[in-house]
């Protein structure tokens, strides 16, 4: 799908460089390019620029293409190319024969025919949700919760914050989920869908507490700090829930037009977390968020555990409980850096401009996220790739095997990097081994992610993890020649559990 913005001052849906030359030629993309809705500015220029399908459809589209064909500006070969790209998946999926008729209308759901295709998908949703939970802190091994405390007393849990529960109006109260009431399980915009149901953290924790003969109480008002603090003083463990939301810019919620206005938690989250941690020595923070949020309270000694739960979907509470109570060993890893200060990041959102299409120069170049933090030696709160486990893993036997010679083809296999990962702890679980490369070129980032593999290991088990590298992954872009060049000289391979938790490193030379 081509987007609304311009790339180098040319609209994305008619950008010959990005669509024809890079996507379809260099990357070998054989599918079709569809415009985002109303993202096209022209018809013929968009087709010439690489767009194959227009959405939702300009009435003059066919006429413009016919006129372009007759004038010779557009060739029949290009029209045939569009047809082949669009129809190939249609035939591949058997839509030409005995395929069910379309029975769903997103704009008029009352006209849709109910067909139950859910099956046991809820199991997959729960599994994926649990696997994506990122355990950021676990002091004194408070997690996973046991059935009782060490001296035999049953836990009493206190839940704090509206993000723990549901609203009285249910999970689908706002069109396209354009609000933030109750627990957050998906963002907002045209790509959303209604929940068939939503399991809140409070509901799931209550169910598990019932099974374990434990006690649960709650104070879900985000702004009644006094009541929440009074409750938190009476329980063994206080779980504080907070979130941050965003979505597509045709929806504005609480002054946030699509993008967030800041990187702080919504609904008084930071204030509530600090207040609860000040009075409860076993505070657990659970964050549901669309992206990074600042965590100025992360080092508070009473905050024993932090879980970044992302946007888990309809099985949200069940997925979280699976991790909190140890049914699933957490294996999620951060896909962004959580900074100490907003100013630590290299770029900022443009919130307003007199120009409807403002020029944005990406002066940071490759130095985004962890690459920027590494280059500027900025200490983050939690680094890219970070995530804790209930077990421990050891890395050994870093090895390099040459698999081919550079022949000018960007897809040629050049090297295999391998490492042995061993579960050295007491709990089975997944480890996410990560490969970062240091390039010979001095002006490149310190480390660049080039591969990661999630591997399950039983206690004491070892497995070999392999990272294949092709020419493109070992190349840099030369602006002058507008070409990829395989770098010459010594590469450094960094293998570890995050961008800053490097366990092994070694060097290899793919091209002297």
Active site residues: 36
Supply 186's token pair: 């998906």
Angstrom CA distances, 89 to 30, 196, 269, stand at 10, 29, 47
- The answer for residues whose C-beta is within 8 angstroms of residue 124's C-beta and 6 or more apart is none
3-state DSSP assignment of residue 321: helix
| Residue 346 near residue 372 (C-beta atoms within 8 A) | yes
Residue closest to 161 by CA, chosen among 266, 88, 279: 266
Measured CA to CA, the distance from residue 137 to residue 160 in angstroms comes to 19
| Residue 180 near residue 241 (C-beta atoms within 8 A) | no
3-state DSSP assignment of residue 328: coil
Measured CA to CA, the distance from residue 277 to residue 282 in angstroms comes to 8
Measured CA to CA, the distance from residue 282 to residue 435 in angstroms comes to 35
Residue closest to 334 by CA, chosen among 134, 480, 507, 161: 134
Measured CA to CA, the distance from residue 305 to residue 254 in angstroms comes to 29
Measured CA to CA, the distance from residue 435 to residue 451 in angstroms comes to 5
Supply 196's token pair: 């068939």
Supply 161's token pair: 């914050």
Angstrom CA distances, 14 to 38, 52, 69, 79, 227, stand at 13, 10, 18, 15, 57
Measured CA to CA, the distance from residue 160 to residue 155 in angstroms comes to 16
Over the range 264-283, which residues count as b (16 or more CB within 10 Å of their CB) and which as e?
Answer: ebbbbbbebbbbbbebbebb
The Cβ of residue 255 has, within 10 Å, a number of other Cβ atoms equal to 6
How many residues are present in the chain?
512
């Amino acid at each position: 799908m081509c987007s609304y913005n311009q790339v180098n001052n040319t609209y994305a849906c008619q950008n010959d460089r990005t669509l024809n030359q890079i996507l379809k030629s260099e990357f070998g993309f054989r599918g079709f390019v569809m415009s985002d809705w109303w993202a096209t500015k022209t018809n013929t220029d968009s087709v010439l620029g690489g767009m194959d399908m227009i959405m939702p459809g300009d009435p003059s589209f066919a006429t413009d293409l016919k006129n372009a064909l007759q004038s010779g500006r557009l060739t029949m070969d290009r029209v045939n190319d569009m047809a082949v790209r669009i129809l190939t998946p249609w035939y591949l999926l058997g839509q030409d024969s005995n395929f069910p008729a379309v029975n769903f209308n997103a704009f008029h759901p009352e006209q849709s025919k109910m067909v139950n295709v859910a099956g046991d998908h809820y199991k997959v949703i729960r599994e994926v949700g649990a696997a994506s939970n990122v355990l950021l802190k676990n002091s004194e091994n408070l997690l996973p919760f046991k059935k009782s405390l060490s001296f035999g007393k049953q836990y009493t849990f206190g839940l704090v914050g509206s993000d723990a529960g549901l609203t009285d109006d249910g999970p689908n109260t706002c069109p396209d989920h354009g609000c933030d009431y109750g627990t957050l399980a998906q963002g907002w915009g045209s790509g959303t869908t209604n929940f068939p149901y939503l399991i809140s953290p409070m509901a799931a924790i209550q169910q598990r507490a019932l099974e374990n003969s434990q006690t649960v109480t709650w104070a879900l008002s985000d702004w009644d700090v006094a009541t929440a603090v009074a409750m938190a003083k009476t329980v063994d463990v206080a779980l504080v829930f907070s979130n941050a939301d965003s979505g597509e810019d045709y929806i504005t919620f609480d002054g946030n037009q699509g993008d967030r206005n800041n990187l702080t938690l919504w609904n008084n989250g930071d204030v509530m977390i600090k207040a609860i941690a000040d009075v409860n020595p076993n505070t657990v923070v659970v964050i549901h968020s669309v992206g990074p949020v600042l965590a100025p309270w992360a080092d508070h000694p009473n905050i024993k555990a932090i879980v970044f739960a992302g946007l888990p979907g309809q099985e949200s509470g069940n997925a979280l409980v699976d991790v909190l109570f140890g049914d699933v060993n957490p294996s999620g890893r951060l896909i962004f850096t959580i900074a100490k200060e907003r100013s630590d990041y290299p770029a900022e959102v443009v919130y307003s401009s007199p120009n409807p299409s403002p020029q944005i120069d990406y002066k940071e170049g490759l130095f985004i996220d962890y690459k920027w933090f590494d280059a500027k030696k900025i200490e983050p709160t939690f680094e890219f790739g970070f995530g804790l486990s209930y077990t421990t893993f050891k890395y050994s036997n870093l090895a390099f095997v040459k698999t081919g010679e550079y022949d000018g083809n960007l897809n040629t296999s050049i090297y295999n990097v391998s490492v042995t990962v061993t579960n050295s702890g007491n709990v089975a679980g997944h480890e996410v081994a990560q490969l970062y490369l240091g390039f010979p070129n001095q002006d490149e980032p310190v480390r660049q992610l080039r591969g990661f593999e999630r591997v399950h290991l039983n206690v004491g088990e070892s497995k070999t993890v392999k990272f294949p590298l092709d020419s493109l992954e070992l190349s840099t872009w030369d602006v002058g020649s507008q070409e990829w060049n395989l770098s010459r000289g010594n590469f450094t391979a960094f293998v570890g559990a995050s961008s800053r938790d490097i366990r092994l490193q070694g060097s290899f030379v793919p091209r002297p």
